[in-house]
Structure 1
Amino acid sequence: MDRLVYLDYAASTPVSEEALHVFQQLSQDCYGNASSLHDAGGRANDILTYSRQSFAAILEGEPDGIYFTSGGTESNLLAIQSIANGLPAHRQHVITTSVEHPSVHHAVNSLERLGVKVTIIEPNPDGIITQDILKEALLPETGLVSIQHANSETGIIQPLAELAPLLKEKHIVFHTDAVQTFGKIRVSIKELGVDAVSISSHKVYAPKGAGAVYMGAHVPWKPLYSGAVQEGGFRLGTVNVPSIGAFTAASEQLMLKRDELHRQHELLRDYFLQQLKIRQLPVRTLQNNGSRRALPHIIGCFFEGFEGQYVMLACNRHGICISTGSACASGYHDPSPAVKALHVSDRDALQFIRLSFGSKSSKEDIDQLLHTFEHLQKEKKGA
């Protein structure tokens, strides 16, 4: 087998040396329960206090608004459901989009079963939620809108700052899932105009098992669980201090090289697109449409004549890790809603594959991937 080529950073990232060092150190030296009143508990709580300050500075919010969770999925579920739980009776209407992460859809589906009115809006053919699309869905009773910052499968970035004024003037809470954008581009509470944000550790070179939600002080959330004392009643269970400390360290390091990585990913994206033309491979990418604003490290492709799952498994046999979409939706063979939203056929949607770059990605990785694509094409012609 060839050397392992990992091109699935949008699903999960390797743990950085800095994050691993902090995780090991805190696991050994800071094992107290952060809720305990003794000195060991105090040291653990000090780590959480520092981490809140760090994330608040990165997000341009307040430390008291940071609540730690077990990851992006729990962050989305708790944020949406606790905000809905705090809405007054006359504002029990929630809006989200058809292209959200499955955890967002699980959250609103649960709310709908409890009697909350839910509206799912569709993006335009470029994958964008426009002001007109959102405005048409707003009702007098709308209390919460949840729209992702960027899609994990297509990389398309939503114009949150353009949508926020529509909601602010009507006092509607605005939540965004920023799991894919945090650490990749600027995520500023003030700049985006959002009230609540979800982020996750394992997308930013930290261990799995940690995440965070930012809630503005004005957000009317209520705890989902009676008797919860951890994280201000936001969630149940002992706080994972080593993972949160590592999450903090990884995020701080990533902020220092974020812009450099962004340029590196742009160069890799451009190289990939250039090589597709040079090698005349029948691969169409979402990046061919210049009107779409998207994260450069995520590339969605359609390999003509091959189902995405077949291509993914063939690449795996050659030591290359890519995906057919969100890892949290693996096992489902139906076309991705995020891809279907771009007005592609079911046939094309089933051909979809995603590659995503990270800190260790290189032109050599892309060359090995394209060599595998050429091999598949030759096999097909020779069959």
Structure 2
Amino acid sequence: MVYLDYAASTPVSKEALHVFQQLSRDCYGNASSLHDAGGKANEILTYSRQSLAKLLDGESDGVFFTSGGTESNILAIHSIMNGLPAHKQHIVTTKMEHPSVHYAVNALTHRGVKVTIIEPNEEGIITKDILEEALLPETGLVSIQHANSETGIIQPLAELAPLLKKRHVFFHTDAVQTFGKIRVSLKELGVDAISISSHKVYAPKGAGAVYMSTEVPWKPLYTGAVQESGFRPGTVNVPCIGAFVAASEQTILQLEEQHKLDCQLRDYFIQQLKKQQLPVRTLHDNGKRRMLPHIIGCFFEGFEGQYVMLACNKHGICISTGSACASGYHHPSPAVKALHLSDRDALQFIRISFGRMTSKDDIDQLLHTFMNLQKETEGE
């Protein structure tokens, strides 16, 4: 099998699996228990919190562990809005966000929170002017993803942050797709809250985290919880969190090397598309955008993305038509439509994403499948 869907999920690394197995076997106590077994689990949790905070350029008391990226986004947004006064109940987010962000803001509307959904410019970028136009005196929170999981387009958060600081508006970002791929620093980005997930960095599914600045006056979504300083109820999954942090440490150490490899694979893929004269256009063809190199959004002329994906799957190649969390819905992706494309073009969208084990041979097999698809069209 050729796996080219790393943006959806990554395989568990040997190191992360080893940590998970070891902690499951030797550190099975409840971290909230007062006996020695609980204390041992709590020590692992404390180390994990400190390590992850360091990787995010923050403080350990700002880290709250969750079950994954979706819960991280929902809890971060609700907790921040819960802590804001009545005159700051307006949230701004974008059309391209992960579905979990839209779940969160839609739920907030039922309790009277005003929501504004903004669209990017034709390059897929939220500019300072676009954001400023959406801000109101009652705006309390802005949530903008660091980079889109479907298109790979990176948002200029550091350029937007000063505007929000000036207006005393809190800034949350979904960094699930960027953590471990490019540098994610609380201080450099200028954000107040960050969401991340374990299964994007070669760790088991089931863990995630929210980093919340100590300046944020958050209040929990679930009242009465004692775990994670009240941020989230439920027994803390120490083995999964330990594996998450071990994988994160390893991924960050390899970040520059992997980034270079991703760029080489991307360039090779685009060069071969042109060399073989395949009717495939990529979002990377536009040099005005800053993009993640491991995600390539493509449009295969003459075929809907779903057909291309199924044809690749038939040949043992895994690609995507967009966000896996929205699979099963056969309509243009909001993130792709936000690029001001027609429904026809948006439905042709496919996503290829590289990872630690991707090779040029994998790319060649994909290109060969593309060539066969082209021949089908020419033969009609």
Name the TM-score, length of structure 2 as normaliser. 0.99
| 1:92 and 2:89 correspond | yes
| 1:69 and 2:66 correspond | yes
Aligned to 1:295: 292
- Could you list the per-position Cα deviations for residues 325-353 of structure 1 after superposition, in whole angstroms to 9, with x for gaps in the alignment? 00111111110111111111110100000
Shift of 1:248: 0.5
CA distance in 2, matches of 1:223, 1:255: 30
The partner residue of 1:214 within 201, 211, 214 is 211
The partner residue of 2:180 within 170, 178, 183 is 183
Q: Which runs of 5+ in 2 are unaligned?
A: none
CA distance in 1, matches of 2:99, 2:126: 18
- 1:197 partner SS: strand
User: Structure 2 counterpart of 1:256, which letter?
Assistant: L
- Could you list the per-position Cα deviations for residues 47-81 of structure 1 after superposition, in whole angstroms to 9, with x for gaps in the alignment? 11000100110101000000000000000000000
| 1:23 and 2:20 correspond | yes
Aligned to 2:271: 274
| 1:112 and 2:109 correspond | yes
- 1:20 partner SS: helix
- Could you list the per-position Cα deviations for residues 10-48 of structure 1 after superposition, in whole angstroms to 9, with x for gaps in the alignment? 000000010000000000010000111111011111111
CA distance in 1, matches of 2:83, 2:56: 23
- State the 4+ residue runs in structure 1 displaced beyond 4 angstroms: none
Aligned to 1:170: 167
Aligned to 2:41: 44
CA distance in 1, matches of 2:372, 2:240: 42
User: Structure 1 counterpart of 2:173, which letter?
Assistant: T
The partner residue of 1:251 within 236, 248, 264 is 248
| 1:143 and 2:140 correspond | yes
CA distance in 2, matches of 1:40, 1:66: 23
| 1:129 and 2:144 correspond | no
Shift of 1:236: 1.0
User: Structure 1 counterpart of 2:285, which letter?
Assistant: N
Q: What percent of counterpart residues are identical? A: 81
Q: CA RMSD in A?
A: 0.6
- 1:202 partner SS: helix
Shift of 1:253: 0.5
User: Structure 2 counterpart of 1:43, which letter?
Assistant: K
- Could you list the per-position Cα deviations for residues 269-307 of structure 1 after superposition, in whole angstroms to 9, with x for gaps in the alignment? 000000001110000000000001000000000000000
- 1:217 partner SS: coil
CA distance in 1, matches of 2:26, 2:293: 39
| 1:10 and 2:7 correspond | yes
User: Structure 2 counterpart of 1:178, which letter?
Assistant: A
Shift of 1:381: 2.1
**1:49-64 to 2 correspondences below 5 Å:** 49-64=46-61
**Greater CA deviation, 148-157 or 371-380?**
371-380
Shift of 1:255: 1.1
User: Structure 1 counterpart of 2:95, which letter?
Assistant: S
The partner residue of 2:225 within 210, 223, 228 is 228
**1:325-364 to 2 correspondences below 5 Å:** 325-364=322-361
The partner residue of 2:378 within 356, 378, 381 is 381
- Could you list the per-position Cα deviations for residues 146-187 of structure 1 after superposition, in whole angstroms to 9, with x for gaps in the alignment? 000000000000000000001101111100000000000000
User: Structure 2 counterpart of 1:157, which letter?
Assistant: I
CA distance in 1, matches of 2:258, 2:222: 40
Aligned to 2:309: 312
CA distance in 2, matches of 1:379, 1:154: 27
Aligned to 2:262: 265
User: Structure 1 counterpart of 2:292, which letter?
Assistant: L
- Could you list the per-position Cα deviations for residues 350-374 of structure 1 after superposition, in whole angstroms to 9, with x for gaps in the alignment? 0000000000001100000000011
CA distance in 2, matches of 1:265, 1:91: 42
| 1:199 and 2:170 correspond | no
CA distance in 2, matches of 1:220, 1:57: 22
CA distance in 2, matches of 1:381, 1:35: 65
Shift of 1:382: 2.0
Q: Which runs of 5+ in 1 are unaligned?
A: none
